[in-house]
Amino acid sequence: MTENSPEYEFILRDLGHANPAVIVIDAGLATSMKTHLFAKAFPERYFNLGIAEQNAVSVASGLARRELVPLVHTFSNFIARRAHDQVALSVAWPRCNVKLIGGSCGVFDGRNGPSHMAIDDLATMFALPGMLIVEPGDRRQTRELLHAVVSHAGPAYLRLRRHGAPEDLLPDLPVDSGVVVAARQENSRATLVAAGSMLGEALQATRLLNESGVPIDLIHVSILRPLHAQPILESAQRTGLVITLENHVASGAFGDAVSRHVAPHGLRHIRFALPDEFIPAGDPRWQLAYCGLDAVAIADRVTQLIAEGTNV
Amino acid sequence: MPAFSEVIAETEIAQLRRLTNQLRTTIIDVHRRAGSGHLGSSLSIVEALVVLFQQHFNWQRSPDEPWRGDRFILSKGHAALGLYCALSIEGQLDPRLLSSFGQNGSTLEPHPNENLEPAIHASTGSLGQGLSIGVGLALGSRLRSSDDRVFVVIGDGETNEGQIWEAARCAVRLKLSNLIVLLDDNQMQQDGPTPEIMPVPDVSTCWHEMGWCVLECDGHDCAAISTSLSELLEDQAAAPKLLHLHSIKGRGIPFLEGRAESHFPPPLSNEDFLLVKYMLDQGV
């Protein structure tokens, strides 16, 4: 979302028209989170509560208790890190209908460095009982999933990239259960499972591998929790190799969620994730390469893994 | 000869005092039977709970509009023991549940859990969050064009939390005149006197300067609390309200009053309990 995804402001405003219970809360990052059209259209339902995220999350909890639907907007780090206790106790524990909209996630917003670039938010959100976790792969999915998140009764976390979300990477494939089979071949050698914002690199890597004569399945997951694992299992049992790809450190997030489903079947599972470090500030292309997660690096690593599997 | 209304008022205050004795005795007894609990913090809010629930709080609910109604939040959630006992006296909680306080799997957990008991309006325990939740509830009432009010009890130790100050500023900014905070200022926290650990002097002055309507009174004087709460609730200013109560931790148990040891003390012996009960009954 945002500077390069200007439509978020329209999506949010349209949501305001469709659902009179929706309340938008900002925590001092309105210009980044692109909430201004909603604010203009519904000033009585818009509140910028200033740079005080802990208060913003708990206030949203109070609004939800009056059966309103608050959407709290700020960068993911300031929700998942700074306001984690409030998310846990004011929202998740009482199962309040609060929607947490986090921007600035992972390598697609690393220019401001580790303070702003969320690399561990999914781990903390996955650890909270009952939290719906959603990460779209493109702008169209953002539109569809924002409505899905608001329709869901209960706490939810929508993880958004801030810059350069592509328009529509999977034409004609609705998000449905949050798992889309983007590529499938009977002779696939591996199952690449890409979470949320890694869709673009995953599609490109899949094309590169195909051109090299290495067919793989590609599955994209936008609803990370609860995970609809059946398509992943179906593919993995055919290919024998699962590779999860996520814009987050390996600990405690999407790879772990997939592992819980594939491990009992004895399937080989490798995780492509951000490295175990606070990543230096940089632009997305530079950071993707730094982390070994650009399309070329992904294709090389997948090829190597398949070769290792063959040799074993 | 006093005016008729004064006689009624005196009778009401006498009734409130009788209820505070009953509540205090119940708290000590439940604590004694449970074997543990946050006794001191529960005893310092007895008069506040009795006056609020008896005179001002509207417990009515509409099944068709469950979002409506006054809400009470014990932001200093460790005083749950006091709240449970007060709710039982109010008829909002089955008194038979009190014997399960603090037991394994009990509905009455050491900190309030709204998932288990409908009379609990917000789960608390991690200090500082209850006031923000109250801000949201009060704002929600206004957005729904209802006149429901939100009462939040915070502690002086809790004002060490930054979130309390975030919420305090927010309540003023939003002009939440339906938000009433009762500050239980017993000058103590778990580790000792608040003024020695992390003092928060002049809370009343600070909050008044921020834009709150503020009154102060003795936290154990039912008549003073009653008058102050009425005055605050009648105030038409477009501002949130603070009643700053000067209280004593462990109030009612002479050897625990004002002492850090009252925070989580061992249960009273049978002899001590009977003595304390006798003193309360005699109004000593």
ipTM at complex level: 0.96
- Closest by CA to A293, choosing from A196, A217, A212, is A196
Q: Which residue among A52, A63, A90 places its CB closest to the CB of B140? A: A63
Q: A90–B71: do the CB atoms touch at under 8 Å?
A: no
Assigned token pair, B159: 């004002």
Is B128's CB within 8 Å of A23's CB?
Answer: no
Q: What is the pLDDT of residue B45?
A: 98
A130 touches chain B (CB under 8 A): no
- Does B135 sit within 8 Å of A59, measured CB to CB? yes
CA pair distance A280, A119, nearest whole angstrom: 12
- A55 with B163: Cβ contact below 8 A: yes
Residue A166: the pLDDT is 85
Q: Structure tokens of A271?
A: 């995780």
Closest residue by Cα to residue A22 from A31, A30, A34, A13: A13
Structural domain count of chain B: 1
Looking at residue B54, its pLDDT comes to: 97
pLDDT at A189 over 60: yes
Residue A2 is given by DSSP the state B
B116 → chain A, closest CA residue: A94
Is the pLDDT assigned to residue B39 strictly greater than 90?
yes
CA distance B118 to chain A (A): 12
pLDDT class of B124 with cuts at 50, 70, 90: very high
Task: Tell me whether residues B114 and A94 touch, CB distance under 8 A.
Answer: yes
d(CA B193, CA B256): 14
Task: Say how far apart CA B135 and CA B168 lie, in whole Å.
Answer: 9
Tell me what pLDDT residue B8 has: 72
- Tell me the pLDDT band of A309, cut-offs 50, 70 and 90: confident
pLDDT tier, A4 (very low <50, low <70, confident <90, very high otherwise)? very low
Residues of A in contact with B136 (CB under 8 A): 58-66, 70
Task: Report which of A1, A4, A77 is spatially closest to residue A38, judged by C-alpha positions.
Answer: A1
User: In terms of C-beta density within 10 A (0-12 exposed, 13-18 middle, 19 or more buried), how is residue A37 classed?
Assistant: middle
- For the domain that residue B98 is a member of, what is the CATH number? 3.40.50.970
pLDDT bin (cut points 50, 70, 90) of residue A268 is: very high
Contacts of B42 (CB under 8 A, 6+ apart): B27, B31, B79, B80, B81, B82, B83, B85
pLDDT range class, residue A6, cuts 50, 70, 90: low
The pLDDT mean for chain B works out to 96
The residue to which tokens 């603070």 are assigned: B242
Q: Report yes or no: A21 at the B interface, CB cutoff 8 Å.
A: no
Extract the tokens encoding A82: 């700074």
- Work out the average pLDDT over A163-168: 80
Cα separation of A265 and B65, whole Å? Answer: 49
Whole-angstrom distance, CA of residue A45 vs CA of residue A49: 12
- Taking residues B88-100, what's their average pLDDT? 97
Q: d(Cα A279, Cα A287) in Å, to the nearest integer?
A: 8
- Provide the mean pLDDT of chain A: 94
Task: State the pLDDT at residue A188.
Answer: 97
- A93 vs B contacts (CB less than 8 Å): 115, 123
B223 pLDDT above the threshold of 50: yes
Residue range B228-250, pLDDT digits in tens = 999 999 999 999 999 999 999 99
Q: What residues contact A111, with CB distance under 8 A and at least 6 apart?
A: A281, A282, A283
Question: For residue B68, is pLDDT > 80?
Answer: yes
Over residues A268-274, the mean pLDDT reads: 97
In angstroms, how far is the first alpha carbon of chain B from the final one? 28
Q: With cut-offs at 50, 70 and 90, classify the pLDDT of residue A310.
A: low
Active site residues of A: 53
pLDDT at A108: 87
User: Residues B231-248, buried b or exposed e (16+ Cβ, 10 A)?
Assistant: ebeeeeeebbbbbbbbbb
Chain B residue numbers touching A95 (CB-CB < 8 A): 115
- pLDDT grade, residue A1 (50/70/90)? very low
For B96, the domain range is 4-282
Best mutation target, B132, B146, B148, B173, to test chain A (most A CBs within 10 A): B132
| Confidence bin at A5 (pLDDT 50/70/90) | low
pLDDT of A185 > 90? The answer is yes
In this predicted structure, what is the pLDDT of residue B6?
75
pLDDT tens, position by position, B8-23: 788 899 999 999 999 9
For residue A256, what are the CA distances in angstroms to A272, B71, B213?
12, 40, 51
- Average pLDDT score over residue span A278-285: 95
Q: Letter for the amino acid at B140?
A: G
pLDDT of residue B1: 65
The confidence band for A167, taking pLDDT boundaries of 50, 70 and 90, is confident
Rg (CA), chain B: 18
Alpha-carbon distance values, A264 to A124, A223, A254, A267 (Å): 24, 22, 17, 8
Percent of chain A with pLDDT over 70: 96
Q: Does A66 touch chain B (CB under 8 A)?
A: yes
User: CA A250 to CA A258: how far, in whole Å?
Assistant: 12
Coil, strand or helix at A273: strand
- pLDDT level of residue A49 (50, 70, 90 thresholds): very high
Ordered domains of chain A (ranges, CATH) = 7-159 (3.40.50.970), 179-311 (3.40.50.920)
